[in-house]
Every structure is written in structure tokens, then in C-alpha cells.
Amino acid sequence: MNAPQTSKTPAKPAAKNPQRLMQVLLAPQVSEKSTYVAEKNEQVVFRVVGNATKPEIKAAVELLFKVEVESVQVANVKGKQKRFGKMTGRRKDWKKAYVCLKPGQEINFHAAE
């Protein structure tokens, strides 16, 4: 008997829509940990929109900063529980991306363009 065929959809290519790519990166994440990672591993940490994919993040960084990206790692950060008196609330969940640059590449946020 013939085995049922499963149709795998091919992976979507990175978004080529420049308007979408301009909205993927929200801000660089500046912290002690991100500074340490930048110096040690030649990585840059960005805060990105919640539905961003790795190929979109890679394309956005290459488009905006004119650098070559080697790889992208993504982490979903859970929002903290906060209290104000008796009222309890929660901050929004957000996503951050660790962008590994190819050797010799560098992003300088202090340079004015």
C-alpha cells in the first residue's frame, strides 16, 4: 500500500518588504550583559517586535547598518509581575535578538549619520 504523503510547506524566505524590515528592530538593548556579550562574542543585542523571525531580523540588521550577519538567536522575555499597593499587574512580554556579526564587522551606535 502507498503511504500517505505529507506535504511539507517550504520555509518562507526572508521578508523582502523594506517597510516591514524597518519596523522589525525596536531598539538596541543596553545593559551590563549586552555590553559583555558584545565585547566577548562580537554580538549585538536588539529589542525586536514580538512576531519577528530570524531571517527578518538578519535582513533588517543588514539593511539598516550595512553589515554582514552570521547568525541570529532569539529569546522571549517574560514580563515582570509588578504591584502598586493592592493592585497587581504585569509588564508586557517582549522579544530580544542576539545578532552575531561576521568577523571584522562592527555596529557603532555613537556615529552620527
Domain region containing 93: 18-101
Q: Write out pLDDT tens, residues 9-47.
A: 555 555 578 898 999 999 999 999 999 998 888 899 999
Residue 99 has pLDDT above 70, yes or no: yes
Q: Write out pLDDT tens, residues 55-83.
A: 999 999 999 999 999 999 999 999 999 99
Please tell me the total count of domains within the chain.
Answer: 1
CA-wise closest residue to 109 among 74, 65, 48: 65
Instruction: Tell me if 65 is assigned to some domain.
Output: yes
pTM: 0.78
Cα–Cα dist 96/74, whole Å: 6
CATH of the domain at 47: 3.30.70.330
Question: What is the pLDDT averaged over residues 83-94?
Answer: 94
* Contact in structure between 52 and 95 (CB atoms under 8 Å): yes
Instruction: Tell me if 62 is assigned to some domain.
Output: yes
Instruction: Tell me if 8 is assigned to some domain.
Output: no
Q: What pLDDT band is residue 109 in, cutting at 50, 70 and 90?
A: confident
Instruction: Tell me if 10 is assigned to some domain.
Output: no
